[in-house]
Structure 1
């Protein structure tokens, strides 16, 4: 089962200048819990935004740059190739960024979306979820608190 996992605002904003525009510690914990032990498929810019490899995960990086190398990562040049090299995992995750989500939405079986309640200026966006093709299976609201400036809702969608 191929899953897309993302945090996106109500206007589908993902981030700006290759960074998130919010800090949600509980969402980071959920991301870590769900993706640990799995292949994570991402674009080169997303990969380069990490200070180091994320522990206990296989990094699959999609890039158009034919000569690109990255220690500890599997480098591929298409979504199809990324999915193929991730076949050893029964639960690989597509983790971004915006262009990679657009490529992956037609391939994914599930979407784990953290809907951040607010609208933000961004340069990367999550694709629209077509509710004729996706069914909302679960939602959990998280209010603002001392660690979270914005309220958010975990949404789980499965392909119909």
Structure 2
């Protein structure tokens, strides 16, 4: 199954200057728990926003840079090539950024969203989720607290 996973603001903002504009520790824990042991597909800029490759995951990086290299990672030049590499009988995750989510949307079977209940100024956005194509099957609201500055909801959608 191809799954898109993201933390997304009310206005579909993802981040600015290649960084998240919020800090939600429970979202990081959920991301780690869902993606560990799987292939993760991302754009070059998303990969470069990490201090180092994420442990226990196979990184597939999409870039137009012909000579791009990243130790221990698979480099491809299209979403189609990235998806071909993923095991067909396992979950694989598209983890961003905005351009890669747009390219991946037609291929996704499922979307795991952390909806941050706030609007942010951003330069990367998640694509619109068409309610005619997607069905919400899980919604778990979380109130802000001392570690989370914003209310947020974990949501899972599947393609109809």
- Scaled by the length of structure 2, the TM-score of the pair is 0.99
Equivalent position of 2:29 in the other structure: 29
Equivalent position of 1:81 in the other structure: 81
Give the whole-Å Cα distance in 2 for the aligned partners of 1:88 and 1:113: 23
Give the whole-Å Cα distance in 2 for the aligned partners of 1:66 and 1:86: 21
Tell whether the 8 Å contact from 1:39 to 1:92 is kept in structure 2 after alignment: yes
> 3-state DSSP class of the match of 1:71?
coil
Over the aligned positions, Cα root-mean-square deviation in angstroms equals: 0.7
Equivalent position of 1:2 in the other structure: 2
> 3-state DSSP class of the match of 1:115?
strand
Give the whole-Å Cα distance in 2 for the aligned partners of 1:155 and 1:26: 13
Q: Which runs of 5+ in 2 are unaligned?
A: none
Tell whether the 8 Å contact from 1:38 to 1:89 is kept in structure 2 after alignment: no
Count the aligned residue pairs.
160
- Scaled by the length of structure 1, the TM-score of the pair is 0.99
Give the whole-Å Cα distance in 2 for the aligned partners of 1:39 and 1:139: 25
Equivalent position of 1:95 in the other structure: 95
Query: Residues 38 and 8 of structure 1: is their aligned pair in 2 closer, same or farther, counting only changes over 3 Å?
Result: same
Counterpart mapping for 1:9-24 below 5 A: 9-24=9-24
Output one character per residue of 1:118-155: Cα deviation in whole Å (capped at 9) or x when no partner: 00000000000000000000000010000000010011
Give the whole-Å Cα distance in 2 for the aligned partners of 1:106 and 1:71: 29
